[in-house]
Amino acid sequence: MKIKGLRWWMVGLVSAGLIVNYLARNTLSVAAPTLMKDLNITVEQYSHIVVAWQLCYAFMQPVAGYLLDAIGTKIGFGIFALLWSLACAAAAWSTGWQSLAFFRGVLGLTEAAGIPAGVKSTTEWFPAKERSVAIGWFNIGSSVGALLAPPLVVWALMHGQWQWAFLIVGALGIVWSALWMLFYRHPKDHAALTDKERDYILSGQEAKYSTAGAAKRKWTEMIRSRDFWAIGIPRILSEPAWQTFNAWIPLYMMTERHMNLKEVAMFAWMPFLAADIGCVLGGYLSPLFHKYAKVSLFTSRKMVFVFGALCMVGPACVGFVASPYVAIALLCVGGFAHQTLSGALYSITSDMFGKNEVATATGMGGMAGYLGAAAFTALFGVLVTQVGYSPLFVVLAVFDIAAAVVVCLLARSGDRVPEPRWQPAVAVAK
């Protein structure tokens, strides 16, 4: 049976995997107030738990990317997803901050394949002109996962114990792993893909994606290249914002804005809903800039990144407002801003690196970003008790604007197909 527009079903499958991935990582932040009380965990110890996840995630990203490039998207992503699901469920047996840090560290090691696999699958399934839109749609999974975590965890707390949330998310991940192994194929091998859509996908890709046996640089070559640092430095500067939103917003709402558990369930998901909008809108902004600003596709990706970075001024103003609801609105601007620029940077990465190295490059960039996030989180856990949240939100905005400057100066396109005439990205294959 042939399925029309199958590439969009594939990106939906990837997005579902990212939803489970981010549910697993965000379950901790929502359960933190109750969990910290039950296990006698201090704010500083909580920051150590978050850093354990971030460091393991950071160092594993290039390894995960390399494995995905070596053994393929299907097998690699399926194995990693099964392992992170088991690691998430295992956190239910934590007895203190050390054991919880260990299980979260294992979760970080296994979840590291999520974003590299998503970027790699979109480079396999989409032509260059649709890639930013496809990346926006798969990246929406990260925000949906963070969005669903507050109501899920609060439900678990009100109907049982915090351990239930970790077990439920682990079970969801196991189910998704089975679906991935059942349905995912490369477009060259997928029996349900029409010949027209297959030709449309492959003919619209750069030579570095469509040429059999495309060259792959060693990671030591890649890390010395200007191409890597054009994405690596912006990752270092921009990732702390997203990790701060994921790990600290519920605590911020309870300790700084004095909201109760029900209010957290009502409002903590909103910045992640705004992030969903940023994922999708950011993907469509690139072809719109390409069409109306008369710039190349690659330059349009940079313009989207700059737009997202400028929007980070919103959360920088949180300390100047008295209303907790206005503060939530400004954090929503921050969620929108980060996911807009994050998707643009993934698109830039897919433009600059070939099919046999894009997952490795994404993983290496992710490692750089999460090392920066881990360092910021370690400082955050100490400084937040001394200077408060507001100055730290200002620093995050400055970081993102600096990242935009680096992208504009260093990122350059490589092997490109002729610039296509723009057309709606959601159109089915010709």
153-194: per-residue pLDDT in tens?
888 878 778 888 899 999 999 999 999 999 998 888 888 888
CA end-to-end span of the chain: 19
How high is the mean pLDDT of the chain? 83
Average pLDDT over residues 330-357: 86
User: Would you state the pLDDT for residue 414?
Assistant: 55
Q: Per residue in 217-266, pLDDT tens? A: 776 788 888 888 998 999 999 988 887 887 778 778 877 888 877 777 77
Neighbour count for residue 160 (Cβ, 10 Å):
12
Cα separation, 409 vs 340, in Å, equals: 19
Average pLDDT over residues 309-329: 91
**DSSP β-bridge partners for residue 3:** 193
Any idea which residue has 């939530």 for tokens?
328
Reported as type and span, the H/E element at residue 349 is helix 324-352
Q: What is the dihedral of CA 263, 163, 91, 153, to 10 degrees?
A: -20
pLDDT digits (tens, 9 = 90+) for 49-65: 988 988 898 889 888 88
Q: What is the pLDDT of residue 102?
A: 95
Q: Are 345 and 235 in contact (CB under 8 A)?
A: yes
Q: What pLDDT does 420 receive?
A: 44
**Residue 413, CB half-sphere, CA atoms under 13 Å: how many?**
17
- Whole-prediction pTM value? 0.69
Structure tokens at 64: 């995960």
Mean pLDDT of 312-332: 91
Mean local confidence (pLDDT), 347-358: 80
Task: Yes or no: say if 136 and 5 are a contact pair by the CB < 8 Å rule.
Answer: no
Q: Using the predicted structure, report yes or no on whether residue 429 has a pLDDT greater than 60.
A: no
pLDDT tens string 366-401:
888 878 887 887 777 777 777 778 888 898 999 999
**DSSP annotation string for 314-342:** HHHTGGG---HHHHHHHHHHHHHHHHHHH
What's the one-letter identity of residue 228?
F
Integer-rounded Cα Rg, in Å, for the chain is: 20
Q: Which residues contact 277 (CB under 8 A, 6 or more apart)?
A: 336
pLDDT band with cut points at 50, 70 and 90 for residue 215:
low
Q: How far apart are CA 79 and CA 62, in angstroms?
A: 16
Write 262-266 long-range contacts (CB < 8 A, 24+). Answer: 262/154, 264/30, 264/33, 264/150, 264/154, 265/150, 265/151, 265/154
Q: Which residue has the higher pLDDT, 354 or 81?
A: 81
